[in-house]
Amino acid sequence: MSASFTWQVQRFSDLTTTDLYAILALRQAVFVVEQNCPYQDADGSDERAWHLFARSDDGSLVAYARLFAPASAAPYSRIGRVISAGSVRRQGLGRELMRRAIDWCQSQAPTAPIRLGAQTYLRAFYQSFGFVEISEEYLEDGIPHVDMERPA
């Protein structure tokens, strides 16, 4: 990665309106428009999540992941909505995003596993971080996915 990025992890209530707009715009640009998958992105979970994101030198939001610490109903951490802008793909930013997401999850609950729902074409990417498949392939909004877990 030749460019430099500014990283932040914030609760929903601490996001500025500018941050929230940029996060939702990036998620919509990739998950809805680029992947041609109309779905309700605002799912009611953002308010309970932590939001990890990177901005480039020009202030553009270029990477994002939604993070959840373990809860009584789910005794594992979760990483979701993992995304990088098309302009920065293939530069290692996705790997840095995942390293930071895993580090955050481990800092919140060192003995808890971490789960995510992966688009199947990204299995090997997540396996490179120690995630293993824990479900059969399934369709989510018409896109093949598999649940994965990284043991504690």
Instruction: Return the CATH number at 108.
Output: 3.40.630.30
**Alpha-carbon gap, residue 114 to 147, rounded angstroms:** 11
**Domain range for residue 126?**
6-150
Q: Which residues pair with 52 in a beta bridge?
A: 9, 65
Give pLDDT tens digits for 88-143: 888 899 999 999 999 999 999 999 999 999 999 999 999 999 999 999 999 988 88
- pLDDT of amino acid 41: 72
Percent of the chain with pLDDT over 90: 73
Q: pLDDT tens, 14-53?
A: 999 999 999 999 998 887 777 777 766 777 888 899 999 9
Q: Please give the sequence-ordered ranges of beta strands (E in DSSP) within 19-137, or none if there are none.
A: 50-56, 61-68, 77-84, 114-119, 132-133
Domain for residue 1, yes or no? no
**Does pTM surpass 0.85?**
yes
126 part of a folded domain: yes
**pLDDT > 70: percent of the chain:** 97
139 domain-assigned:
yes
Does residue 64 fall inside a structural domain?
A: yes
3-state secondary structure 116-130: EEEEHHHHHHHHCCC
Give the 3-state secondary structure of residue 13. helix
Residue 30 lies in a domain: yes
Residue 43 lies in a domain: yes
Domain count across the chain:
1
What is the structure's pLDDT at 1?
A: 46
Is position 99 within any domain? yes
Cα–Cα distances in Å, from 97 out to 41, 44, 75, 102, 143?
20, 23, 23, 9, 22
Q: Do the domain assignments include residue 29?
A: yes
SS3 of residue 110 by DSSP:
coil
